[in-house]
Amino acid sequence: MIDQFNIHQSVPLNGEISYEELSAACGLPVDPLRRVLRHAMLNHLFREPNPGYVAHSDASSVFVTDAKMAAWLGHNYDEVFRCLHAVPDAIRNHPTSADPGHTPCGVVFNQPKGFFAGLLQDQPWRASRFEQSMQAVTQGSHDASHIVRGYDWGQYGNGLVVDVGGSSGFQSVAIAECFPNLRFVIQDIEDHSKILLENRTAAGLSSDMQFQVHDFFHPNPQTTADVYLLRHIIHDWGDDYASKILWNIASVMKPTARIIVVDIVIPEPGTLPWQAHRMIRSMDLQMMVMVNGKERTKQDWRKLLANSNSKLNILSISQPPYSVASIIEIGLVH
């Protein structure tokens, strides 16, 4: 409701506003507005500094000052949370299917093609919002710098990094800022070349960065790359689809190339504080609800490679400090 009625944008950043004034500004009757906000305040969103008046908390103000976080809020409240109630129906209808359309998202939005190929394609404004929301998860425990510092990119000199499904290239830009000699090809099914250029210019980079429209369900056209980077890609897909993505790289990559997968590796129960486990399991459910994807344990990752018919082998798994995701280095078995 906060997102749908734009409540966060109607509360002044500095100062306070009465419930009556806020009601008029956002078009929501006073009674439900007051009840919803007082519940939100128990979760540190907004505050009531004086009886009958609303002000921003530190947490709620972020959704006004940071457009990317506002997009993340909209994606989760408007799409993810709306789909949760449809989990039983989706499982009853398709109990073992990994099809991206056989999801709670497909049920709620009547999208037989699912989230990526259906909803985002049919409604470009949602695609734009989702793109922004994904940039929001390059902060905190998802910060792009974890991947920069957590892997030895310098070993490749002026080698070629292919950012598969890399959207507008924000992860590649972060790597290039520290390793300017590397060359990059950012691939995605939609043309994000204009945004890539903007990001590169804003960062003051002179690195060789190109955009290439590519569907990762087809063999990768870049056959001389040193690294194929898949950041938060594989977890969007069930095992059959994920295996195909990996095969389409493995079948063309040179023997010395590496695939770098950046995704969660679910830890053993009891090895992390319960709050960390809860966040990881929540993300796993979000993948199930929206796209029929999944987060995977170490054993799941090994099984996925074994079933991909691609002679791929996990060389190392490391988790940078403060990062929720791990870096999985994969190479060909010689």
CATH number of the CATH domain containing 29: 1.10.10.10
Strand partners, 229: 163, 260
* Residue 76, pLDDT above cutoff 90: yes
Question: Do the domain assignments include residue 122?
Answer: yes
Residue type at 248 in one-letter notation? N
Residue 95 lies in a domain: yes
Known active-site residue 102: no
Say whether pLDDT at 139 is over 80: no
Clarify whether residues 226 and 211 are in a common domain.
yes
Identify the domain boundary among 137, 157, 183.
137
Question: What mean pLDDT value characterizes the chain?
Answer: 94
Given 92, 107, 137, the domain boundary residue is 137
- 3-class DSSP state of 197: helix
Q: Model-level pTM? A: 0.88
- DSSP letter at 298 equals H
So what's the pLDDT on residue 28? Answer: 96
Q: Do residue 87 and residue 58 come from a single domain?
A: no
pLDDT value for 23: 98
Tell me the per-residue pLDDT of 232-250, one tens digit each, with 9 for 90 and over: 999 999 999 999 999 999 9
**Are residues 57 and 72 part of one domain?**
no
Q: What is the pLDDT of residue 207?
A: 86
1 domain residue, yes or no: no
Among 10-19, 183-192, 199-208, where is mean pLDDT lowest? 199-208
Q: Residues 202-222: what's their mean pLDDT?
A: 95
pLDDT band at 89 (very low <50, low <70, confident <90, very high): very high
Domain count for the chain: 3
Whether residues 14 and 41 fall in one domain: yes
With a pLDDT cut of 70, the percent of the chain lying above it is 99
Residue 329 makes CB contacts below 8 A (sequence gap 6+) with: 151, 258, 259, 260, 314, 315, 316, 317, 318
User: Does 309 have pLDDT greater than 80?
Assistant: no
One domain for residues 37 and 175: no
Query: Which position among 8, 235, 277, 334 bears the catalytic label?
Result: 235
The CATH number for 218's domain is 3.40.50.150
Structure tokens at 146: 């974890």
Domain membership flag for residue 178: yes
d(CA 156, CA 179): 10
Domain boundary among the residues 122, 137, 152 is at 137
User: For the residues 161-182, what does the mean pLDDT come to?
Assistant: 95
- Looking at the domain assignment, is residue 132 inside a domain? yes
Residue type present at position 169: G
Q: Are residues 188 and 113 in the same domain?
A: no
For residue 44, give its domain range. Answer: 7-64
